Amino acid sequence: MDLIADDGQFVTVCFNNTIDNFSGWLTFVYASTSTSARYELWNKINCLVNVINDKWMVGGDFNMILNSTEKLGGRRAVPSLMNNFSKTMVDAGLVYLGLIGSKYTWKQGLVADNWNVADVGNAWFRLWKLHKKVASALRAWNWEVFGDVHARVIKAERMVQHLQAIDESSNDVVSQLQNAHNELLAASIQEEELLQQKAGEVHFVHGDRNTKYFHACIKQRRANNTIIRIKDECGNWITGNRDLGVSAVQYFQNLFLPSQNTGTIDSALFNDVRDYTDNLELCGIMTANDIFQVLSEINCNKAPGPDGFTSDFYLKSWNIIQNDVVQANQSFFKGDT
């Protein structure tokens, strides 16, 4: 067996079995998570076609799919990236042989690896610690894989402008420009999704990439959620985060104090709706199906709580997080503290 090529993303060897009179070429791939690096890999695979003159098998982790049916859940696949991968296979004369076993060989590894903490007793405290641990891991992963999304868009735009200024008669320049356009498209889609999630905006035009619109939504949302000052019962304006917090706590404490003038309420007024409200079982213990159904009815980009995790996170990771989420919610209705 002879080593033909040793690249950062693949290794190619040539073997010759003299006993069985069988020879061929093998390429083992471990593709990068970077789109531009994978384009380099596709080009190098096409270059190998001019060298190989025998049977050839290519396998490994391509970090890419041929079509959307090979992916379940998560971020939507980018058609241009799948098309480039498919074109590479066709140009290289490679044929997909299929698989044996599970169709989906990787799923939610990061969540599963971090969804574990020492037993802390209280179900809600345990859920909070799990959220915090997963959030920290997701932030690190996001920066490692995607980095600064806005900076990537700017860099990709400059590369396209640079290549457009060069003489496009060269086939090499045309190929580089096509790759740069694909990189810009992928970065723009990621930026759009990021801004959409930050804006929390669901009423948008499909395919609209007007980032100024999303920035305006983010700015307006933050302004709406910010309390600058409030007026107390005496008509005095209260400012400052600390004084605002003290005033809010005091207001609700007074609101729930026993009233001296409760009066008498005629219970007969509620006869018409008593049976209806009894059947609602408002104090009943929620089941796992009840919780999952509620999450399914929330927009995927909306977060049901202050932790920032969207309903999409709960739905996609339900098989991992189900027990802890259900226990925390049921403990509330059982009165556990």
Per-residue pLDDT of the chain (337 residues; tens, 9 = 90+): 888 888 889 999 998 887 778 889 999 999 987 888 899 999 999 998 888 888 999 999 898 888 877 776 555 678 888 889 999 998 888 888 877 666 655 555 778 888 888 877 788 889 989 999 988 888 887 787 777 888 888 888 888 888 878 766 677 777 788 888 888 888 888 787 777 666 655 544 444 555 666 667 667 667 777 788 888 888 889 888 889 889 889 888 888 777 655 667 777 877 777 777 777 766 778 889 989 998 888 887 776 566 678 888 888 889 889 999 999 988 888 877 5
Measured distance CA(14)–CA(63) in Å, rounded: 24
For the chain, helix, strand, coil in percent to 5 are 55, 10, 35
Same domain, 314 and 287: yes
Q: Domains in the chain: how many in total?
A: 4
Side chain identity, residue 39: Y
The answer to whether position 121 is within a domain reads yes
- Looking at the structure, tell me whether residues 123 and 169 fall in a common domain: no
Domain enclosing residue 184, as ranges: 146-219
Considering only CA atoms, which of 333, 249, 255, 223 is closest in space to residue 287? Answer: 333
Tell which of 198, 219, 240 closes a domain: 219
Q: Are both 7 and 69 inside the same structural domain?
A: yes
Q: Is-contact 115 320, C-beta < 8 A?
A: yes
Do 55 and 134 reside in the same domain of the chain? no
Let me know if residue 306 belongs to a domain: yes
Contact in structure between 84 and 67 (CB atoms under 8 Å) = no
* Helix residue ranges per DSSP H, 29-122: 35-48, 79-91, 109-114
Are 13 and 79 part of one and the same domain?
Answer: yes
Report the distance separating Cα 10 and Cα 162, nearest Å: 30
Residue 278 maps to a domain: no
Is residue 96 in some structural domain? Answer: no
- Do 85 and 9 belong to one domain? yes
